[in-house]
Amino acid sequence: MARDVPLPVLETRVGPAAERATKEIAARAPASERLASLDAFRGFIMFWIIGGEGLLAGVQALGHNRVIDGIVYELNHTPWQGLRFYDCIWPSFMLLVGLSIPFSFAKRSLTQSYRQQLARALRRTVALFLLGSVRESVSLGSPYLVELSSALQPIAIAYLVAFLMARKSWKFQASVGALILASYAFLLALVPAPGIPAGTYALNHNLVHYVDIALLGQEHWNIWPYAPEGWGTVLSTIPTISTTILGLLLGELLMSGRPKQVKARLIGGIGLLCLALGYILSPFVPVIMKLWTTSYGLVTAGWACLMFLFFYWPIDVWACRKWSVPFAVIGANAIFIYMFRSLIHLGSIVGVFTQGIARLLPRSGVLAQEVAVLVVEWLILFWMYKRRIFIKA
């Protein structure tokens, strides 16, 4: 009920120009139009989280070779400085969150007022934040509000910011995204902490780590299993918003009247530009995922754009979609399977049926279990997909 109080205040700030912007966004694409590559790319990214990584580890257990070892290497986070494929998973989700906003906004604008959409955005933000809390609490075995080990709460915050910017001009959106990245870079470069000089990026000896300890407490930090790896939380949430804003800009580009081939080239150009800027900056600001440094934000945004292009071009430009259905099935219920994977441990269940294989073929035991888990997960998602059951926050 408290939510009803500020909404009229927010609504009174929306003038005729903003209302016209809402109508323009709604008119850019038919409500029935759906970006098929969006679900496919989301499913591709989620695939590695729900079993793809374990699947390749099972293949590696059969025997080492350069190809498999190289792939498995990329499916682990960088210990500190540098970049691997798995470090691009989280930024890809942030990009996808922004990408989907213009399409959702346009569709809902046909039947809902801005006030109704804002209320829904606030509810979704709270739901995502609390889902992150649930996941964290289950993981640590005790109730905790602040999520440290996954992306749900940063996604919640970035989603709300991007939604509030959906009716602004693209120049304003781009300026805010760039300002956030630049400000964060200067913050880490110029602001010291007690015993920590400005511009320090050392593991567990930097401004981000200091702020986490100051705000969350050392006791909370000590029980978190990833603490020794130096993951940042409070400050490093800020630059994630920029990647979501970039996704918002791409979504608006995709809804524009430009030819699809032109859109694809622009996405590729933006991706290459982000890569170039990030790597040019990296000698001065190292690429560190666990601090979400500005160079890391730029480089991973670039790779996320190029990976999305890999799906957009064949699926939406060439209308070649059949190959992407297995990924689309996963992507259509990404939040559901993410929470399902976190709360339900299928490994112990399917292990009852795969332990015989493990006894007969010890080196195949891991692979058999990972395949079984992935198949069960996908079949659940396929059942939901066929019945059009889509669970969203």
Render pLDDT for 181-217 as a digit per residue (tens, 0 to 9): 999 999 999 999 999 999 999 998 999 999 988 888 7
Q: Where are the domains of the chain?
A: 31-386
Residue 175 confidence (pLDDT) above 80:
yes
- pLDDT at site 24: 53
Q: How many helices (H) and strands (E) does the chain have?
A: 18, 2
Helix (H) or strand (E) holding 201: strand 201-202
Position of tokens 């006894």? 359
Average pLDDT (54-75) is 91
- pLDDT at site 84: 96
How far is 244 from 21, CA to CA, in rounded Å?
A: 20
Is 232 within 8 Å of 292 (Cβ atoms)? yes
Instruction: Calculate the alpha carbon distances from 143 to 42, 78, 133, 147, 258 in Å.
Output: 29, 29, 8, 10, 49
Structure tokens at 41: 């790319």
- pLDDT band at residue 348 under the 50/70/90 scheme: confident
Is 328 within 8 Å of 43 (Cβ atoms)? yes
- Residue 202: strand, helix, or coil: strand
| Phi (first) and psi of residue 234, to 5 degrees | -70, -60
- pLDDT at site 19: 53
Is 222 within 8 Å of 213 (Cβ atoms)? no
Predicted TM-score (pTM) of this structure = 0.88
Tally the C-alpha atoms within 13 A of residue 289's C-alpha that lie toward its C-beta: 21
Beta-carbon contacts of residue 106 (< 8 Å; ≥ 6 apart): 25, 26, 27, 28, 29, 31, 255
Tally the C-alpha atoms within 13 A of residue 285's C-alpha that lie toward its C-beta: 26
Residue 327 confidence (pLDDT) above 80:
yes
Average pLDDT (52-66) is 89
Render pLDDT for 8-28 as a digit per residue (tens, 0 to 9): 333 334 455 555 555 555 445
How far is 363 from 256, CA to CA, in rounded Å?
A: 52
Render pLDDT for 235-289 as a digit per residue (tens, 0 to 9): 999 999 999 999 999 999 999 999 999 999 999 999 999 999 999 999 999 999 9
Position of tokens 């160079």? 295
DSSP 58: H
- Residue 206: strand, helix, or coil: strand
Residue 47 confidence (pLDDT) above 60:
yes
How far is 351 from 157, CA to CA, in rounded Å?
A: 38
Look at 252-256, 284-288, 340-344, 381-385 and tell me which has the smallest mean pLDDT: 340-344
